[in-house]
Amino acid sequence: MHVDARQLPENTLIEGDICIVGTGPAGLSIALQWDKTPYKVILLEGGGLDYDDQVQDFYAGQSTGQKYYPLKSTRLHYFGGTSNHWSGYCSPYDPLDFEKRDWIPHSGWPINRSDLDPYYARAQSIVDLGPCEYDVAWWQKKDPELRSLLPGNPSVWNKVWQFSPPTRLGKKYGPQIMASKNIHLYTYANLVDITANEPVTAIRSVTVTNLAGKKHTVKAKRFVLACSTIQNARILLSCNTQAKNGLGNDHDLVGRFFMEHLQIKSAWLFLPKPDPLKLYMIDPGVTKMRCELAITPEMQRKARILSGTASLLPYGIAEHAMASIQTWNSDDPRKSLSNFRSSNAASRQKASSTSLKASNRFMLSTRIEQAPNPSSRITLNPTEKDALGMHRSILHWELTPFEKRSVRTMYELIGQEVGRAGVARLQLMEHLQDPSDYSWPEFTSGGWHHMGTTRMSDDPHTGVVDANCKLHGVDNLYIAGASCFVTAAAPNPTLTIIALSLRLSDHLKKQLASV
Amino acid sequence: MGAITMTTGCGHRTDSRTAALETPDFLSHICDAPTLRLLGAAYRAQTPSEASQETLIRLLRPRVTAQTIKADYANGDIITLKGWVLSRTEARQCALFSLDSN
Ligand SMILES: Cc1cc2nc3c(=O)[nH]c(=O)nc-3n(C[C@H](O)[C@H](O)[C@H](O)COP(=O)(O)OP(=O)(O)OC[C@H]3O[C@@H](n4cnc5c(N)ncnc54)[C@H](O)[C@@H]3O)c2cc1C
């Protein structure tokens, strides 16, 4: 069932068993698990069924620190959320990513990779991926041309990615949601306030509103905030009437530890003869899987570095490629996407067909986690509000020398291993050549992957949510999405967002069944 | 960048054995002669104690094989010159080449 909240009478009271706020991959993947159950699900979406620039403007904000994309265009504010723009790159996090790594301050999740394994398997089909196979040998058996550059290497391994078409979750699951008898989708229902009992141990209701000036109240037994990393923090910080520092923020953690994936061209790989290196190539829209070069857990431990991967791009394309920070430059996400896509298409077109078939020179590009950093954070702009009266966000994205050292070390290791194997030589790009240079070049980009502002921990002094994604100190408020991530790992986050959301959904079902 | 051919004519001072020493086999399939010279000059600047022809020849003798170079990589005997992650042996070969072809 679908209702446009602008059409409801003012001050409508909406009631259900569970209220999910946000319809991106996090919110929708939870909602779908509740279809055809006896529970009444209230699904709130701040935007409409399609793009609406007035609603999108609620995302506008300021950024300081490391140069970033315009905040307004990095997330989408309508049904399906940012899955309407994502590229579909998927790979699970590795067991080491969840561990406490003594060389990375603030690392260590309260859950293990094995806690997510069954949910990764279920997440695959939600975004139309292939079998849950992330072992390169499985794919190589199917296609012997997927030859490894460094077979059996102790320091460098092949990490598998799979590609979603990419699934636009709103388009794909919209009909099912609309037809559902027990899921009640309300569009143009922007959450602007949360009301708790006194002394703020349980949520009573949330307030939603829209530009038509209609305000409504939603009551439920359990609430799930799935508005993405920046908005989840912004909402909690804004709810500061009953909780002075914001909801769940007794220990000044909400909004802190904002993480992105650093994406940056880093090195050149030279082979003595042209080689297709098919295992590492991607033909957008066609390729189902590919690998990136990753550093083994043992070597990450030994070298005390962050987790990152290197992707390969033939020189023929790379010489024309522009960094995404240079092309994703408009406040309007549609324009940014179009600039970004046309720049990528142009670099492919300019490359000669022979250089695409096989090349003896490849560009290596990094995607790497940043170390969790409390100073990298979301705060509220005290002076600027959006049209609904919510304080706008300020992002301070901060990197440290640790990231630079890790990127450099990663390529020194890959350089060493290709030399040892006698298959190639590697040249670091200029920005990595001086080991005492910790600056970042202007083409340093993020992956549009926002993580970490409501991090997970068993201890309320070190985390905003517990291992079940429940806000510490509040009985019935849960957070879904990458804001709960403790560390960022190397892979794009959405597969893990969905897996974690499915796990949360199962937990909530058990909770409600026991009420 | 094509593979280089190592010429020994035109005032060149090397005998054929030295020419073999100064040919970084794998690298010469990847880098052209000016790049090898640049890398060689960088090695000499970074390692002044090995900047002379005599020292380099002594260090590279009796011969360099692909295995010598792979062993450098395996043992971590690596040097980064102008961003190139090179085995010490091949860096020395470049240095010798850069002296010989000056
Ligand atoms: C260009 C681009 C490419 C990307 N490519 C990849 C990729 O290849 N692989 C990958 O893993 N990830 C990728 N991502 C990231 C991916 O899109 C996000 O990880 C994912 O969408 C996050 O899901 P989410 O549900 O947490 O948030 P979102 O998808 O942003 O959804 C949040 C939802 O909450 C709603 N909402 C927000 N505030 C409110 C409010 N106050 N009240 C009510 N509703 C609200 C929004 O309208 C939206 O529906 C990409 C992102 C971009 C921009």
CA of A80 to the centre of ligand 1 (A): 8
If you measure from the C-alpha of residue A81 to the centroid of ligand 1, how many angstroms do you get, rounded to a whole number? 5
Rg of chain A, C-alpha, whole Å: 23
- Ligand 1 centroid–CA A110 distance in Å is 24
Give the model confidence (pLDDT) of A417-471 as tens digits. 999 999 999 999 999 999 999 999 999 999 999 999 999 999 999 999 999 999 9
Q: What is the CATH number of the domain that holds A204?
A: 3.50.50.60
**Residue A418 C-alpha, separation from nearest chain B C-alpha, in angstroms:** 9
Strand partners, A395: A63, A378
Residue A150 forms part of a structural domain: no
Number of other residues whose CB lies within 10 A of the CB of residue A339: 17
Q: Report how far apart, in Å, the C-alpha atoms of A29 and of each of A21, A476, A477 are.
A: 12, 19, 18
Nearest CA to ligand 1 atom 38: A227
ipTM score assigned to the predicted complex: 0.93
pTM of the model: 0.97
Strands, E, within A315-376: which ranges? 359-368
Interface of B to A at Cβ within 8 Å reads 1, 3, 26-27, 29-31, 66, 69-70, 72-74, 76, 78, 80, 82-87
What length is written for chain A? 515
Residues 6+ apart with CB under 8 A from B17: none
Q: Which residue out of A51, A82, A329 has the highest number of ligand 1 atoms within 8 Å of its CB and is therefore the one to mutate?
A: A82
In angstroms, what is the span from residue A5 Cα to ligand 1's centroid?
Answer: 22
Computed over every residue of chain A, the mean pLDDT equals 97
Instruction: Please state, rounded to an integer, the average pLDDT across all residues of chain B.
Output: 85
Mean pLDDT over A327-333 rounds to 98
Q: Quick one: pLDDT at residue A471?
A: 98
Residue B10's pLDDT is 33
pLDDT at A385 over 80: yes
- A175 exposure class (CB count in 10 Å sphere: 0-12, 13-18, 19+): exposed
Q: What is the pLDDT of residue B4?
A: 44
Q: In this prediction, what percent of chain A has a pLDDT beyond 90?
A: 97
**Residue B72: CA atoms inside 13 Å, Cβ hemisphere, count?**
21
Domain residues of chain B, as ranges? 16-100
In terms of residue numbers, what domain contains A489? Answer: 1-60+80-96+110-128+168-257+451-515
In this prediction, residue A29 carries a pLDDT of 98
CA distance A26 to A481: 5
Of A361, A422, A427, the CB nearest to B70: A422
CB contact under 8 A, B26 and A427: no
Collect all residues of chain B within an 8 Å Cβ-Cβ radius of residue A267. 83
Beta-carbon separation of B76 and A416 below 8 A: yes
Minimum Cα–Cα distance from A421: chain B residue: B70
Estimate the crossing angle of helix A25-33 against helix A113-126, to 10 degrees.
90
- Tell me which residues of chain A have a C-beta less than 8 Å from any C-beta of chain B: 267, 270-273, 360-361, 411-412, 415-417, 419-422, 425-430, 432-433
**pLDDT tens across A341-384, in order?**
999 999 988 887 777 789 999 999 999 999 999 999 999 999 99
Size of interface A-B (CB pairs under 8 A): 62
Question: Closest Cα of chain A to B85: distance in Å?
Answer: 6
Chain-chain contact of A432 with B74 (C-beta, under 8 angstroms): no
pLDDT tens per residue across span A238-258: 999 999 999 999 999 999 999
pLDDT at A38: 97
CB of A246 closer than 8 Å to CB of A196: no
Tally Cβ neighbours within 10 Å of residue A38: 8
Give A102-142 pLDDT, tens digit per residue: 999 999 999 999 999 999 999 999 999 999 999 999 999 99
| Residue B102 reports pLDDT greater than 60 | no
pLDDT in tens, B2-39: 444 343 333 344 566 677 788 889 999 999 999 999 99
pLDDT at position B9 is 31
pLDDT in tens, A197-228: 999 999 999 999 999 999 999 999 999 999 99
Considering only alpha carbons, which residue of chain B is nearest residue A155?
Answer: B74
- The count of structural domains within chain A is 1
pLDDT at residue A233, rounded to an integer: 98
Nearest CA to ligand 1 atom 21: A82
Instruction: Copy the structure tokens of residue A111.
Output: 């859950």
Contact criterion met (CB < 8 Å) for B80 and A430: no
According to the 3-state scheme, what is the secondary structure of A361-400?
EEEEEEEECCCCCCCCEEEEEEEEECCCCCEEEEEEECCC
For residue B16, the model assigns a pLDDT of 67
Give chain A positions within 8 Å (CB) of B27: 425
